[in-house]
Amino acid sequence: MRFTKMQGAGNDYIYVDCFRETLPADADQLSRLARQISDRHFGVGADGLILICPSERADARMRMFNADGSEAEMCGNGVRCVAKYVYDHGIARKDVLKIETGRGVLSLAVEAQNGSVRRARVDMGEPILEAAKIPVSVPGVGPSERIVDVAWREHIPLGEPGPWMKKWEASGVEKGMTCVSVGNPHVAIFCRDVAGLPLETVGPVFEVAPVFPRRINVHFVQVHTRGEATMRTWERGSGITLACGTGASAVCVAGVLAGRTDRRILAHLPGGDLELEWNEKDNHVYMTGPAVEVFSGDWTPQET
Say if residue 302's pLDDT is above 80.
no
Say if residue 208's pLDDT is above 90.
yes
- Are 92 and 84 in contact by the 8 Å Cβ rule? The answer is no
| CATH number, domain 2-123+290-298, options 3.40.50.300, 3.90.105.10, 2.90.10.10, 3.10.310.10 | 3.10.310.10
- Residues 81-100: tens digit of each pLDDT: 999 999 999 999 999 999 99
pLDDT confidence of residue 48: 97
Q: pTM of the predicted model, to two decimals?
A: 0.94
pLDDT confidence of residue 304: 58
Parse the chain into domains and list their residue ranges. Answer: 2-123+290-298, 131-282
- Are 104 and 284 in contact by the 8 Å Cβ rule? The answer is no
Those residues whose C-beta lies under 8 Å from the C-beta of residue 294, and which sit 6 or more positions away, are 4, 5, 6, 7, 12
Q: CB count, 10 Å around CB of 201?
A: 17
- Residues 265-291: tens digit of each pLDDT: 999 999 999 999 999 999 999 999 999
Say if residue 237's pLDDT is above 70.
yes
What does pLDDT average to over the chain? 96
Identify the band that residue 20 occupies on the pLDDT scale cut at 50, 70 and 90.
Answer: very high
Distance CA 209, CA 107 (A): 33
Per-residue pLDDT, averaged over 10-14, amounts to 98
pLDDT confidence of residue 159: 84
Per-residue pLDDT, averaged over 187-216, amounts to 97
pLDDT confidence of residue 161: 85
Say if residue 160's pLDDT is above 90.
no
CATH code for 131-282?
3.10.310.10
pLDDT confidence of residue 115: 93
- Residues 34-48: tens digit of each pLDDT: 999 999 999 999 999
Q: At 53, phi and psi to the nearest 5? A: -115, 160
Distance CA 243, CA 280 (A): 25
pLDDT confidence of residue 33: 96
Do 2-123+290-298 and 131-282 show the same overall fold?
yes
Would you please indicate which residues are annotated as catalytic (active-site) residues? 75, 244
- Are 61 and 50 in contact by the 8 Å Cβ rule? The answer is no
Say if residue 212's pLDDT is above 80.
yes
Distance CA 301, CA 299 (A): 6
Per-residue pLDDT, averaged over 164-182, amounts to 96
- SS3 of the chain: the string is CEEEEEEECCEEEEEEECCCCCCCCCHHHHHHHHHHHHCCCCCCCCCEEEEEECCCCCCEEEEEEECCCCEECCCHHHHHHHHHHHHHCCCCCCCEEEEEECCEEEEEEEEEECCEEEEEEEECCCCECEHHHCCCCCCCCCCCCECCCEECCCCCCCCCCCCHHHHHHHCCCCCEEEEEECCCEEEEEECCCCCCCCHHHHHHHHHCCCCCCCCCEEEEEEEEECCEEEEEEEECCCEEECCCHHHHHHHHHHHHHCCCCCCEEEEEECCEEEEEEECCCCCCEEEEEECEEEEEEECCCCCC
Per-residue pLDDT, averaged over 170-186, amounts to 97
Distance CA 36, CA 93 (A): 32
Q: Which of 22-26, 65-69, 221-225 has the lowest mean pLDDT?
A: 22-26
Per-residue pLDDT, averaged over 250-262, amounts to 98
* Angle at the Cα of 14 from the Cα atoms of 12 and 19, rounded to 5 degrees: 135
Say if residue 263's pLDDT is above 90.
yes
Are β-strands 150-151 and 116-123 bridged in parallel, bridged antiparallel, or unpaired? unpaired
